[in-house]
């Protein structure tokens, strides 16, 4: 078992229940694959440094977990299938999992406000 | 920073431009290099999005390598730009 960290970007137009379903789905996939999920961190919607799949913004989710090496291949395969995940990256944490302050975006406040507006629709 | 008029005094007291020398990560061990902390990494990226070289950033070799790896990871997941050219609308 090794400690990994997967960060993925959900399509910005997926909000509310649809978004929660995606977060739960990938958490469930990890649990099905007998991975020990340490943390699921939702960063919220923020601006991307460059457009991805023609989207200028995206919703970041960070998952830290302990898993065997072959779990990564399966998780990434499923992420590729899911069209709502526009980008993902898995990193091996060599020193194990350490609690760090979540990286707050410079425009976090503005982003959150907009997200609420979209929820109300 | 060499002044041709005063080459014989290496530690001259009247150095006009004092640039911070030395690796800031070696000086402060609590600083962590992490691809998710773009606020730290921004300091080592030029306006064009290029990685600032070691001779300018002042980092030691070990930490410059870590910074470089972190910036590349951050670029991969769209936290940092590859270049300023592809600015979104």
- Of B2 and B20, more confident: B20
Sheet (strand A85-92) strand order: A36-52, A55-67, A2-10, A85-92
For residue B45, what is the DSSP state? B
- Residues from A in contact with B at Cβ < 8 Å: 7, 9, 47-52, 56, 58, 62, 87-89, 91, 100, 102-103
ipTM of this complex prediction, to 2 decimal places = 0.73
Question: Is the Cβ pair A100, B79 closer than 8 Å?
Answer: no
Positive or negative CA dihedral for A97, A98, A99, A102?
negative
Residue A2's closest CA among A32, A31, A36?
A36
pLDDT tens, residue by residue, B23-52: 888 888 888 889 999 898 999 999 999 999
Share of chain A above pLDDT 90, in %: 69
Does residue A113 register a pLDDT over 50? no
Distance CA A21, CA A119 (A): 15
Most confident by average pLDDT, A33-47, A96-110, B15-29:
A33-47
pLDDT range class, residue A96, cuts 50, 70, 90:
confident
- In this complex, do A49 and B75 lie within 8 Å of one another by their Cβ atoms? yes
């Amino acid at each position: 078992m090794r400690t990994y960290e997967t960060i993925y970007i959900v399509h910005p137009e997926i909000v509310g229940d649809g978004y929660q379903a995606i977060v739960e789905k990938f958490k469930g996939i990890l649990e099905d694959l007998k991975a020990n999920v340490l943390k699921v961190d939702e960063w919220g919607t923020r601006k991307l440094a460059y457009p991805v799949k023609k989207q200028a913004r995206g919703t970041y989710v960070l998952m830290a977990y302990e898993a065997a090496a072959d779990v990564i291949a399966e998780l990434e395969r499923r992420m590729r299938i899911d069209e709502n995940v526009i980008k993902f990256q898995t990193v091996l944490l060599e020193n194990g999992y350490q609690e760090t302050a979540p990286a707050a975006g410079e425009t976090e406040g503005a982003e959150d406000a907009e997200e609420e507006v979209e929820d109300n629709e | 920073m060499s002044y041709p008029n005063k080459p014989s005094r290496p530690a001259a007291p009247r150095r006009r431009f004092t640039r911070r020398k030395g690796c800031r990560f070696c000086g402060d061990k609590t600083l962590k290099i992490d691809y998710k902390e773009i606020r730290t990494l921004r300091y080592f990226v030029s306006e064009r999005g290029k990685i600032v070289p070691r001779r300018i950033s002042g980092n030691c070799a070990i930490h410059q390598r870590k910074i470089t790896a972190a910036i590349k990871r951050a670029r991969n997941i769209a936290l940092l730009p590859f270049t300023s050219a592809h600015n979104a609308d």
